Structure 1
Amino acid sequence: MSEGYVCPECGLDYDTILPPDAVVALRSFPRRYRELLPERDDDAKPDGVIRRRPAPGVWSALEYTAHVADVLDDLADAIRRMTTEDQPTLGGFDPDARAGEARYNEQDREAVLGRLTDASEKAAAVVDAVPNDAWSRTATFPWGVRDALTMARNAVHEGSHHRRDVESVLARVVGR
């Protein structure tokens, strides 16, 4: 169901992601995000730079990272349900509302990275456990019907795309 989709912003081509690739990518996200998020900013303030927003309405690096942790956790649950239930109807969420309600930008850096590690491993384990004949199983979301393979690819896209967002935000707030 994601055949031919290439993200117009980050260039990720869904057709290039097979389930084993998704497992490897998902397991790489904790390390790849940790490498980006400095513990101290230029003024030696504890993690100040990761909380800075480059513009109104644009998330900070920490907020993007917390969002990815939540999305990967949600997608792991969705894929598990899609492959164990008959055509479930699954909900969505408003990312901006969730970010505000969960106070992403006030969360501890290590706690967010820990959640990302847990969610990445959970998603990788779920994807790794899907039988080959179950990838075409579907669920109905608020945005339409999707198959399990599309959702695994979407998990990789979320992590990859938002990692680029984190890089961009950090470059903007540090002025590089």
Structure 2
Amino acid sequence: MDDLPALAGEEHFCPLCRVNYQRTTIARAVETITAIPGAARAAVAEIPEAARAVRPSAGEWSVVEYVCHLRDVYASYTIRLYRARTEDRPAVEPMLNNLRATRFRYIDWNVEAALDELDATAAGFREEIARVREDEWERTVTRLPHEVRTARWLVRQAMHEGTHHLHDIERTGSVIRAASG
């Protein structure tokens, strides 16, 4: 597990997305998460179908791979949040993003089907958020022993993943369109 990227902290600020965890309320995070599937669908619609599975360069994901990853984020974070709510400081599994993308051949997925699944997993995550009681937001999970994160962080992190990867989808589409036109 030495090659896992470190999790962002509870006070994370992303200069690219301008997401500030400390200033993000749960209500604002839910609003953003609600908009992510539609925004991803709109961004994908701007990219020619033949270009959606093109990687802009080695080591970068294609549009369809980003969409599959976002689907996985909301599925994984639903389970993580459920476990934070119902277990005492559970150790959660790493997502192993690149392994999933490779082993499950995300580049070969139908992007429309992945977008439909993103709709479903984001809705399921929002349903799980709605089940969290006010006194449960400080409950914690760990991924590695030194990575203790709150239920509140799980929601903020999932929102950030959506925001950040939406930028990645838009940027990847722009790069692919520029290279082909």
Q: Same fold (TM over 0.5)?
A: yes
Residue 53 of structure 1 is matched in structure 2 by 55
Structure 1 residues 161 and 35: CA distance shift in structure 2, 3 A: same
Q: Deviations over 1:144-168 (max 9, x none)?
A: 1111000110000000000000111
| Aligned 8 A contact 1:66 1:104 in 2 | yes
Distance in 2, matches of 1:110 and 1:35, equals 11
**One-letter code aligned to 1:75:** Y
Q: Which runs of 5+ in 2 are unaligned?
A: 1-7
Displacement of 1:31 after TM fit? 0.5
Residue 132 of structure 2 is matched in structure 1 by 130
Distance in 1, matches of 2:39 and 2:118, equals 11
Match of 2:174 among 156, 163, 171: 171
Q: Give TM-score scaled by structure 1 length.
A: 0.91
Q: Which runs of 5+ in 1 are unaligned?
A: 42-46
**One-letter code aligned to 2:39:** R
| Aligned 8 A contact 1:66 1:112 in 2 | yes
| Aligned 8 A contact 2:76 2:95 in 1 | no
What is the correspondence of 1:88-99 to structure 2 with a 5 Å cutoff?
A: 88-99=90-101
Structure 1 residues 99 and 58: CA distance shift in structure 2, 3 A: same
Structure 1 residues 39 and 3: CA distance shift in structure 2, 3 A: closer
Q: Give TM-score scaled by structure 2 length.
A: 0.88
Distance in 1, matches of 2:113 and 2:173, equals 19
Distance in 2, matches of 1:126 and 1:97, equals 26
Partner secondary structure for residue 148 of structure 2: strand
Displacement of 1:3 after TM fit? 4.4
Count of residue correspondences = 171
What is the correspondence of 1:1-176 to structure 2 with a 5 Å cutoff?
A: 2-38=9-45, 41=48, 47-142=49-144, 144-175=147-178
Please give the root-mean-square deviation of Cα atoms over the aligned residues, in Å.
1.7
Identity of aligned residues (%): 30
Distance in 1, matches of 2:23 and 2:78, equals 20
Partner secondary structure for residue 55 of structure 1: coil
Partner secondary structure for residue 37 of structure 1: helix
Partner secondary structure for residue 146 of structure 1: strand
